[in-house]
Amino acid sequence: MLRVESLVNDTLDDAGSLIAAEQTVARSISGGLPEDFTDPPRCRAELAALLANGNIGVVAFDGDRPVGVLCALVRGDRALLRAEGLAVDPHLKDPTDVLVALYARLAPDLIAAGAIHHHPTHVGLGPLGAGLFNLGFGRSSVYATQPTRTGTNAPGLEIRVGTAEDLPAIVALSVIEMGFRFTPPIYAMPHPSSREHVNEHHRRLFAEGAIHLLARAGRDDVGLLTLEFTSPSPRLCSADQPYIGPTATHSARRGQGVGRVLVEAAIDWAYRNGFHSIAVDFESANPLSRPFWLGTGFVPVGYQLTRSIDPSYRPNVGTGGRAGQHPHRQPSSGAT
């Protein structure tokens, strides 16, 4: 018989051990996952940090054995269920009942707090993904990694590390890319963003130490790839490895290999600077992004899902936990 308890200090050890066990099995299938999340104390500390930052959480037990954990944070009309606080017993053939019990306990509080769009992120284990699909979630984005190595040079393109003086070119390429993503065949939902906002975003990235790789053909900058050093999901993509952020290719140079050259340059830069892996996230339904990133050697290690709730549904029953605020990151990397 399943029972569900609140994630509190008394249940943190059990939940942390469960996450570590799931990560260990997932790493045996996909070696790109961070090794440090196979350590129960690290997982317990991450759960404690989630609670301290306003997440609410629940743990499912089968007898005395922990079989599931689920944490969430409300930001406006969104609930973020990060991979650092989501796991099921990796040996369950069908974890649907466990996930139903966890979500049924947690979801009413999220909806009552105004969150009608729920976004769980999870490691790439088949039964776990199938169980979440059974709850009505659909896949929205993919997290993927690959080892670094020495890259190959491409004739006709110069790759350089951009500086603040290159900000006008970086902003111009980013604006072109944003417009491209909102047109067929991508059909991404437009996000209102002025040139000034894009400029400020890249200024902030420079201040945080991000690397802007620019591809130049002759006198023109024709491509951009940004390397950040803060992963949106440390359990899936190590927080101390480069993470590919905004990318762009000039519309006149699409389909000519600019994006692949930039990826090769990014892998080479990371290798030469002592990093062992590089990561990216991309939208599952983007018909250009998915084949591009998989075709350049990235291997999926986890996924983000999404589900929307009828906003007229406002239950007042739940865990009684509090809902907090947390920055929400949308997948930032498109096909270049």
Q: Is 330 within a domain?
A: no
**Predicted pLDDT at 288:** 85
Q: Are 118 and 171 members of one domain? A: no
CB 266 within 8 A of CB 200: no
Phi, psi (5° rounding) for residue 37?
A: -85, 5
pLDDT band at 316 (very low <50, low <70, confident <90, very high): low
184-192: long-range pairs with CB below 8 Å, 24+: 185/287, 185/288, 186/286, 186/287, 186/288, 186/334, 188/283, 188/286, 191/330
Q: Are 122 and 172 members of one domain? A: no
Phi, psi (5° rounding) for residue 276?
A: -100, -20
Using CA atoms in the order 119, 125, 128, 131, what is the torsion angle rounded to 10 degrees?
Answer: 100
Strand partners, 144: 280, 300
* DSSP code of residue 215: E
Least confident window among 117-126, 152-161, 293-302: 152-161
Q: Are 109 and 251 members of one domain? A: no
**Predicted pLDDT at 187:** 63
Strand partners, 212: 226
pLDDT band at 328 (very low <50, low <70, confident <90, very high): very low
Q: Is 170 within a domain?
A: yes
The residue whose two tokens read 């939940």 is: 15
Q: Are 130 and 238 members of one domain? A: no
Residue 315, pLDDT above cutoff 70: no
What mean pLDDT do residues 88-114 have? 96
CB 202 within 8 A of CB 171: yes
pLDDT band at 255 (very low <50, low <70, confident <90, very high): confident
**Predicted pLDDT at 324:** 40
Q: Which of 333, 334, 206, 213 minimizes the C-alpha distance to 272? A: 213
Residue 42 CB-half CA count within 13 A = 12
* Predicted TM-score of the model (pTM): 0.88
Q: Are 36 and 169 members of one domain? A: no
Q: Are 123 and 187 members of one domain? A: no
Q: Are 96 and 178 members of one domain? A: no
**Calpha distance 48→55 (Å, rounded):** 9
Q: Are 186 and 255 members of one domain? A: yes
Residue 188, pLDDT above cutoff 80: no
Residue 320, pLDDT above cutoff 60: no
Q: Is 327 within a domain?
A: no
Share of the chain above pLDDT 90, in %: 76
Residue 105, pLDDT above cutoff 50: yes
* 54 φψ region: left (φ > 0), alpha (ψ -120 to 50), beta (else): left
Query: How many domains, the chain?
Result: 2
CATH number at residue 117: 3.40.630.30
Least confident window among 101-105, 172-176, 310-314: 310-314
* DSSP code of residue 188: P
Domain that holds residue 224: 147-301
What mean pLDDT do residues 122-142 have? 97
Q: Are 208 and 174 members of one domain? A: yes
Q: Are 291 and 166 members of one domain? A: yes
CB 117 within 8 A of CB 21: no
- Number of Cβ within 10 Å of residue 155's Cβ equals 5
Least confident window among 18-27, 127-136, 145-154, 291-300: 145-154
Q: Are 153 and 294 members of one domain? A: yes
**Predicted pLDDT at 11:** 97
Q: Are 120 and 174 members of one domain? A: no
Q: Is 332 within a domain?
A: no
CB 119 within 8 A of CB 81: yes
